Structure 1
Amino acid sequence: MASEDVKTSGSAVSTIVNLAEEAKLAREGVTAQSYAFSICKSLFAGGVAGAVSRTAVAPLERLKILLQVQNPHNIKYNGTMQGLKYIWRTEGFRGMFKGNGTNCARIVPNSAIKFFSYEHASKRILHLYQQQTGNEDAELTPLLRLGAGAFAGIMGMSATYPMDMVRGRLTVQTEKSPYRYRGIFHALSTVLREEGPRALYKGWVPSVIGVIPYAGLNFGVYESLKAWLIKTKPYGLVNDDCELSVPTKLACGAAAGTVGQTVAYPLDVIRRRMQMLGWNNAASVVTGDGRSKVQLEYTGMIDVFRKTVRHEGFGALYKGLIPNSVKVVPSIAIAFVTYETLKDIMGVEIKISD
């Protein structure tokens, strides 16, 4: 009888343990699925934010690149309005958005990876910082936010760099170019066949150097401004729930974009010029008579910097800065606000300010 009781008791305990294990596994499964779904929603929000922000300023993006690689001996336009009117007059509405399809194909994964990388890098850095200081309530400093943003920028840029290189060439070519790429995949295959795989990463080094202050300052300034506003609550810009209004977030994004692009812009010019190397039909190498060519010869990033300054002056490193400034102010602002708004709508738990 006692033996039966022991067996019954043992069976009951075993059943309880099994049920507990099954419940635990079920909870873990739900948690894993929920976390994976949250990641997907985060990536989706970042991708949509990038596409919306870049499409909104596509004409200015194209004008910036054309100004960066414009032949100094055959200047067709100098200012933003003059350049936009020239593109409209010579190529029409479609010319204003030339290369935007490639740009969106690049910026969607770039933006998704960048925002996602920043979220997780900032959380990891914050955890290490709290352990180091022994203060569980410690918050990220502006410098740490800049570091997380730089890491995110490098990850996003490196993953999509070949698309950026192709976008530059598609954007620069015109109706009068002797040779035209028919699209993204045609451009990729042509560059691979004629110039080799390394050509897809021309200008990668200055891009990495440039993305560190650019992305770092974008995220660092934006997050630091938001944190400061929430903490100080000046001029009634923060509501009772410590939430910033959309116009205030747009202003923070505009300030972040302006600071970041001004610091990193010369490296963007160098990168773009290096991407044009090896392409004899780039619009920038056609001289005034429309027939002869001036072959640009650079041996590397330093050589591009030296020859650009020597032949065109230091100001050439900021060619296209004005249209880029006009572009960056709304672009970065729209990207940040779109990203955070979409995540609020979809109910994603992970927030870049957490």
Structure 2
Amino acid sequence: MASEDVVGKTTSDSAVSTIVNLAEEAKLASEGVKAPSHALLGVCKSLVAGGVAGGVSRTAVAPLERLKILLQVQNPHRIKYNGTVQGLKYIWKTEGIRGLFKGNGTNCARIVPNSAVKFFSYEQASQGILWLYRQQPGNEEAQLTPVLRLGAGACAGIIAMSATYPMDMVRGRLTVQTENSPRQYKGIFHALSTVLREEGPRALYRGWLPSVIGVIPYVGLNFAVYESLKDWLITSRPFGLVKDSELSVTTRLACGAAAGTVGQTVAYPLDVIRRRMQMVGWKDAASVVTGDGRNKGAHEYTGMVDAFRKTVRHEGFGALYKGLVPNSVKVVPSIAIAFVTYEVVKDILGVEMRISD
């Protein structure tokens, strides 16, 4: 009888153990199935937040964006735009409200995926760089530093810019053309197909090198300054600006504005050269043709160095900063709005990880 009790108890324990094991296996299997879908959902939410941030920020400053490009590429022998206020008034007078937002559809079509990829790439790059840094002896508990953030931002900028560069090139041409341009691109796809057919596929990446060089300090400094300023404010709490671990929207906007100012000032000359190189091969651009109908060759550059040399020689060093004022007026609120919109949308969508994390 005792033997039967032992056998029964053993059998019962075995059954319970088997059930527990099966339950654990089922739980692990369930988690294994859910984890990838949960991770994919997080990626999608992050991409959506980045896209919304880019679209909102660029639309808010579209008139200044167009004026900046017109100032960058206008022929020095036929000046139409003499400054921010005069330029905006001239566009309003000659082209109406639609002229102020010309090229914005193309810009948003480019900036939405660009911004989505950029913010997501920054998150992934910062995690990867921090992981590599922690592999070094003595750095096991290290956190992101401004230099590491600069590197992550540079990686994100290069990836995002390269992925959407043809759209940026086409957007520049659509933005520059006016009602008097002999050649009229009808839209994004017409411009893409026309450039591809008449100038070849390499034309879609004309100006890519100065863009790569320029995006490293620009995007890198944007992220590094923004995140470092936020960390400093939360840690030191100067002037009573921070009451708890969260920054107000106004304070975050100020951090974004500071980041945008630093980044665009350092990288602006490369942006001018990039934009001018994008116009190479487009002989019908009204802004590069003089009053007698002849193209003075202002857009005939053989490369980045040649573009720098000719620009400075014919127009002076100040030409590298043409359009800086409207760009400053534009980029400061644009970067600020983009950062804050990104974080707010991620909060709304319930994404746990922010760029600071």
**Under a length normalisation based on structure 2, what TM-score does the superposition of the two structures give?**
0.94
Q: 2:51 is matched by which residue type in structure 1?
A: G
Q: Distance in 2 between matches of 1:311 and 1:325?
A: 25
3-state secondary structure, aligned to 1:178: coil
1:233 equivalenced with 2:240 (yes/no): no
Q: 2:119 aligns with which of 112, 115, 118?
A: 115
Q: 2:259 aligns with which of 256, 261, 264?
A: 256
For residues 180-202 of structure 1, the C-alpha deviation after alignment (integer angstroms, 9 at most, x for no partner) is 00000000011111111111000
How far did residue 344 of structure 1 move? Answer: 1.3
How far did residue 164 of structure 1 move? Answer: 0.1
Q: Distance in 1 between matches of 2:55 and 2:71?
A: 23
How far did residue 282 of structure 1 move? Answer: 1.6
3-state secondary structure, aligned to 2:81: coil
Q: 1:272 aligns with which of 262, 271, 275?
A: 275
3-state secondary structure, aligned to 1:294: coil
Q: 1:330 aligns with which of 322, 333, 342?
A: 333
How far did residue 15 of structure 1 move? Answer: 5.0
How far did residue 26 of structure 1 move? Answer: 0.5
Q: Is the CA contact 2:182–2:286 (under 8 Å) kept in the aligned structure 1?
A: no
Q: 1:182 aligns with which of 179, 183, 186?
A: 186
User: Which ranges in structure 2 are unaligned for 5 or more consecutive residues?
Assistant: none
3-state secondary structure, aligned to 1:37: helix
1:281 equivalenced with 2:277 (yes/no): no
3-state secondary structure, aligned to 2:142: coil
For residues 14-60 of structure 1, the C-alpha deviation after alignment (integer angstroms, 9 at most, x for no partner) is 55444322211101222222211111111000000000000000000
For residues 69-124 of structure 1, the C-alpha deviation after alignment (integer angstroms, 9 at most, x for no partner) is 00000001211000000000000000000000000000000000000011111112
Q: 1:293 is matched by which residue type in structure 2?
A: N
Which residue of structure 1 aligns with residue 61 of structure 2? 57
For residues 241-270 of structure 1, the C-alpha deviation after alignment (integer angstroms, 9 at most, x for no partner) is x11111111111001001000100000010
For residues 275-318 of structure 1, the C-alpha deviation after alignment (integer angstroms, 9 at most, x for no partner) is 001111123321024x3333432110000000000000000000
The count of corresponding residues between Structure 1 and Structure 2 is 352
1:219 equivalenced with 2:216 (yes/no): no
Q: Distance in 1 between matches of 2:147 and 2:290?
A: 46
Q: Is the CA contact 2:260–2:332 (under 8 Å) kept in the aligned structure 1?
A: yes
3-state secondary structure, aligned to 2:283: coil
User: Which ranges in structure 1 are unaligned for 5 or more consecutive residues?
Assistant: none
Q: Distance in 2 between matches of 1:158 and 1:18?
A: 49
**Which structure has the larger Rg?**
2
Q: 1:66 aligns with which of 61, 70, 82?
A: 70
3-state secondary structure, aligned to 2:136: helix
Q: Measured at CA, do residues 135 and 302 of structure 1 come closer, stay the same or move farther in structure 2, by a change above 3 Å?
A: closer
Q: Distance in 1 between matches of 2:138 and 2:294?
A: 67
Which one is further off, 34-43 or 332-341? Answer: 34-43
3-state secondary structure, aligned to 2:135: helix
3-state secondary structure, aligned to 1:167: helix
Which residue of structure 2 aligns with residue 20 of structure 1? 24
Runs of 4+ in 1 over 4 A off after TM superposition: 1-16
1:305 equivalenced with 2:308 (yes/no): yes
Q: 1:293 aligns with which of 281, 295, 299?
A: 295
| Mapping for residues 141-180 of structure 1, pairs under 5 Å | 141-180=145-184
Q: Distance in 2 between matches of 1:342 and 1:57?
A: 20
Q: 1:343 is matched by which residue type in structure 2?
A: K
How far did residue 9 of structure 1 move? Answer: 7.2
Q: Distance in 2 between matches of 1:22 and 1:325?
A: 57
Q: 1:121 is matched by which residue type in structure 2?
A: A
C-alpha RMSD of matched pairs (Å): 1.8
**Under a length normalisation based on structure 1, what TM-score does the superposition of the two structures give?**
0.95
Q: Distance in 2 between matches of 1:144 and 1:270?
A: 28
Q: Distance in 2 between matches of 1:110 and 1:347?
A: 22
Q: Is the CA contact 2:182–2:285 (under 8 Å) kept in the aligned structure 1?
A: no
Q: Distance in 1 between matches of 2:324 and 2:197?
A: 34
Q: 1:321 is matched by which residue type in structure 2?
A: L
Q: 2:23 is matched by which residue type in structure 1?
A: L
How far did residue 139 of structure 1 move? Answer: 1.6
Q: Is the CA contact 2:258–2:332 (under 8 Å) kept in the aligned structure 1?
A: yes
Which one is further off, 230-239 or 4-13? Answer: 4-13
